[in-house]
Structure 1
């Protein structure tokens, strides 16, 4: 794998140098394709090397785990271990949060990988593992019992919500529990753009539901799990310190977006892409050329949204001041680790992020050790 040793940052951010290499995955749209993946090395758990200090904003503290295949979703268990899904292999792996040791929890039945579909987002709550997956006829959310003890396996999947449209592209896939205890999901419009504006469809939406999959109390459309609409392909959702919901969205050819999401609002696709200032549509808080982002996972830490970029192959920081940006976005790790799929904030709020690469998803150029979970320290 040939990548620059100097990590470029925009907006006057100083360069950061780090010796290890890593990567991540993304969206098609009308952006072309990447070479097919090569073979990754056998799974290896590696201890963190000595931290390398750059400009003081982001420190790559080390690699937690290597040898992951098409990693997509990431969720933290009580106690600090992580669960990571393999989109294409249909498996969930438990990763020790300190040593990086990996243990397969098995294959999830009913997953039908293909294109951008497969086993995607994960969430954990009250002894259940929730998964967003592509099945034979639809995308759906299921949950599986998992007690988390040594030797425990995942229980059989039980449907939570079915009937989310599936396609070769734009399947969404991110799920997370909000501070209100409700389950949220970002979906895509499968390339059929009209679904995003159709409030009867679950495609091109952000959904909000109870842990059992029922419409959540206070949803904007009576009897519906639809929370917001007019989205092209949402793969990143996170809440800030004030409990506001943020979402990252793939654009088509012009603008990728970070949106502040409010119930019942229309985010414009396919009528508008990026900020248009048109009545009835919500403009993004920040936007990027598609070559610089292709945003997948996002997380909130240290007063900012951190956004993983697939095609852009960089980590973006968007500083917030309430409902607005407090400054220009900055980027880090540009090109050093390849495509970046998922970013997760550590539960203790100490400024640690877990960053998942995705070079082995068919669009990257994997090298030895790909894919990885990296430890980052941010401030």
Structure 2
């Protein structure tokens, strides 16, 4: 899984020969590098358990991309099945959280059914070289050329959230009998979870216009970014069986008709709104010391405003206490984001304008703090001694983590998709950690207070 120190040094040397740009945040200087160009609207990018970047392209292609060489391995081309117009096409993707045992990939796209545009989500199997369809989990969702949603996210309980847009049919967002303009929740076999608000329905929350970002943070909150009309783009906290107001309410409940509707319809107000609109796309939590300005913050890629926004929250995660915009107009429209285990950020760019006037000219760009990388290499010899066990660990059994005396740090556990599962302080001596994890393979990391890092793999069976 992890690249060796020799490979890292070699790659660093090669990259010095490639033209790079520098961007300064508050105090951290980031180096940018184009990992892959000649893409056509990379809509989803995911850091995979194989240390490759998995991506969808809107015209109908799915690939794995080597983040070092940029070599693209095409796994699936369904361009003949995908309906691509305006914002429609091959969009959201997510990998099974236990990918080593269940190499399943879930993909959402629009298609044509007679004269109608529809949306479906299909489960594929990965055999090491290609994707083959296993099952269509949900289909015949009303679509359009815009307002499609299509972001997918798998929760710790192994249910999936899927956003659907209003498909330019606004009243359907408030119609709980329709799956349009909603956040849907389904099991990974396509069935309806028994604990959904209505156990006969996929609908988990409603009143949405076009949510295109979903992420569950370490604080347990599920955040979502959503496009507004000409006003009121939103950052929300998603909750089951709650109404998000559209189309009666846009943004806050701040007019008399909106207030009356909100009071009688269980409406959740957004955490943040933007007027004029900025076109928010995907979101992700950054929990790594490599870029201090972003640590323990939610990052949002922005299309119209061509920027990356970092949000800080209060301790309960239900209020934004800081937001700052970075990289404005530096890297074109930013569609998506993923993060490598060593803290590098990867951004999918989608050109300079909403219309795709220059297809196959889009990129995936890497942002790294080279100073942190150098310090990590130099500090390897001073990493405190640790012992971790048992490994493999039985489900429900506590993990013992022994650290040399006088040392403290943060123990962090991630699933194979890089999503945080647990974070806990450790100190010199024996630390007993109650993981409460299900069977699978996890990645652990300890960031010590002296700036050094230790990491490894944990098997739970």
What's 2:57 paired with? 86
- Name the SS of the counterpart of 2:282 in structure 1: strand
Q: Is the 8 A contact 2:47 2:339 kept in 1?
A: no
Listed as ranges, the gaps of 5+ residues in structure 1 are: 1-45
> 1:250-309 CA deviation, whole Å, 9 max, x = no partner?
000111000000100000100111111632211001111244x21111111132211111
What's 1:127 paired with? 103
- Among residues 258, 265, 274, which one is paired with 2:242 in the alignment? 265
The change in CA–CA distance for 1:65 and 1:47 in structure 2 (over 3 A counts) is farther
Could you tell me how far 1:131 is from its partner in structure 2?
A: 0.5
Alignment map for 1:1-379 (pairs within 5 Å): 49=20, 52-56=23-27, 59-88=30-59, 90-108=60-78, 110-125=81-96, 126-137=102-113, 138-147=118-127, 149=128, 152-156=129-133, 158-276=135-253, 278-279=262-263, 280-291=266-277, 293-301=278-286, 302-321=295-314, 322-346=316-340, 348=341, 350-359=342-351, 363=355, 366=358, 370-377=361-368
Q: Is the 8 A contact 2:147 2:210 kept in 1?
A: yes
Q: Is the 8 A contact 1:47 1:64 kept in 2?
A: no
C-alpha separation in 1, matches of 2:276 and 2:215: 21
C-alpha separation in 1, matches of 2:358 and 2:111: 27
Could you tell me how far 1:180 is from its partner in structure 2?
A: 2.1
The change in CA–CA distance for 1:177 and 1:60 in structure 2 (over 3 A counts) is farther
Listed as ranges, the gaps of 5+ residues in structure 2 are: 1-16, 97-101, 254-258, 287-294, 373-461
Q: Is the 8 A contact 1:69 1:360 kept in 2?
A: no
Larger Cα Rg: Structure 1 or Structure 2?
A: 2
- Name the SS of the counterpart of 1:195 in structure 2: helix
Could you tell me how far 1:354 is from its partner in structure 2?
A: 1.9
> 1:166-193 CA deviation, whole Å, 9 max, x = no partner?
0121011111212222111111001110
Pairwise CA RMSD: 2.4
- Name the SS of the counterpart of 1:123 in structure 2: strand
The change in CA–CA distance for 1:365 and 1:320 in structure 2 (over 3 A counts) is farther
C-alpha separation in 2, matches of 1:268 and 1:225: 19
Q: Is the 8 A contact 2:224 2:235 kept in 1?
A: yes
Q: Is the 8 A contact 1:166 1:190 kept in 2?
A: yes
Q: Is the 8 A contact 2:243 2:268 kept in 1?
A: yes
- TM-score, length-scaled by structure 2: 0.66
- TM-score, length-scaled by structure 1: 0.80
Aligned length: 326
C-alpha separation in 1, matches of 2:276 and 2:156: 31
Q: Is the 8 A contact 1:58 1:332 kept in 2?
A: no
Which is strand-richer, 1 or 2? 2
What's 1:17 paired with? none
Could you tell me how far 1:51 is from its partner in structure 2?
A: 5.6
Q: Is the 8 A contact 2:23 2:327 kept in 1?
A: no
